[in-house]
Amino acid sequence: MNLRPRSLPALLLALALPLAMLTSARAEAITVAVAANFKKPAEEIGAAFKARTGDDVRYAFGATGQFAAQIRNGAPFDVLLAADDTTAPALAKAGFAAGSTNFVYARGTLILYSTTLPMTRDGADILRHGRFNHVAIANPKTAPYGAAAIEAMRKLGVYEALQPKIVEGSNIGQTFDFVATGNAEVGFVALSQGIGAGKGQWWVVPQADYAPINQSAIVLKPGEGKPAVKAYLDFLRGAEARAVIEKYGYTIPK
């Protein structure tokens, strides 16, 4: 068959279309509810996962406790990346998640963060002197990092004195924004947020001053049986994702 040169592009397009349609048909989109402290690494991991598989990851970021309430009320998330290791098992026990899929994907670190105060001395000393108007924490009822902040302040013996200065964010992302914008001179946030911001100073709160923040992942009922969900969690456990997680200051318990 003789082909005129001008018909060749049309032929190539015709051959390419079925392949593109096949790739599109195989690609999936999954929805993942993510604790706000994990925003930066989750976005990097999602982009790398899509580049590897073609599957799209749609994230929602917020407080773990708020997500738990939404999931119990029928929110159609496929996966939960919580900021603690108690919410996921509780959801599984109540029938909203697959307990066998639960695992700890990261252990978080609490820091005292500021963009205005120099953290050149012990953060506990800064807290004890209290030369600031506001200290920001996440809502301790819904955000594990907020609960850890109160635990640390009690351990340091400063909680009662600082109570009048405490301002609460609805989640750790809003708490970080309070400090980043100067609405609070200092705040308790996640190390990953300080690293991700690339600005400000921080003091790492001693691990002995609060319970370990083990962050667990679990497949929720809407995500059961979806190949892309399994592939995403496999990717989250893999070397490429682990490198991103550790880059943002998390450790991964063995």
pLDDT confidence of residue 15 = 44
Residue 4 has pLDDT above 80, yes or no: no
The Cα 215–Cα 149 span in angstroms is 16
pLDDT confidence of residue 145 = 97
What stretch(es) of the chain map to CATH 3.40.190.10?
28-108+213-247, 110-209
Over the stretch 94-108, which tens digit does the pLDDT of each residue have?
999 999 999 999 999
The Cα 245–Cα 190 span in angstroms is 13
Over the stretch 49-98, which tens digit does the pLDDT of each residue have?
999 999 999 999 999 999 999 999 999 999 999 999 999 999 999 999 99
Q: How sure is the predictor about 18, in pLDDT bands with cuts at 50, 70 and 90?
A: very low
pTM for the structure as a whole: 0.85
Q: What is the CATH number of domain 110-209?
A: 3.40.190.10
Location of structure tokens 């600031």: 132
| More confident position, 23 or 213 | 213
The Cα 143–Cα 171 span in angstroms is 6
Class of the domain covering 28-108+213-247: alpha beta
pLDDT confidence of residue 180 = 95
Q: How sure is the predictor about 21, in pLDDT bands with cuts at 50, 70 and 90?
A: very low
200: left (phi over 0), alpha (psi -120 to 50) or beta: left
Residue 195: Cβ-neighbour burial (10 angstroms; 0-12, 13-18, 19+): middle
The per-residue DSSP string of 45-71 comes to: HHHHHHHHH--EEEEEEE-HHHHHHHH
210 in helix, strand or coil?
A: coil
83: left (phi over 0), alpha (psi -120 to 50) or beta: alpha
Residue 6 has pLDDT above 50, yes or no: no
Mean pLDDT taken over the chain? 90
pLDDT confidence of residue 158 = 96
When pLDDT is averaged across residues 227-252 and rounded to a whole number, the result is 97
Over the stretch 25-49, which tens digit does the pLDDT of each residue have?
467 899 999 999 999 999 999 999 9
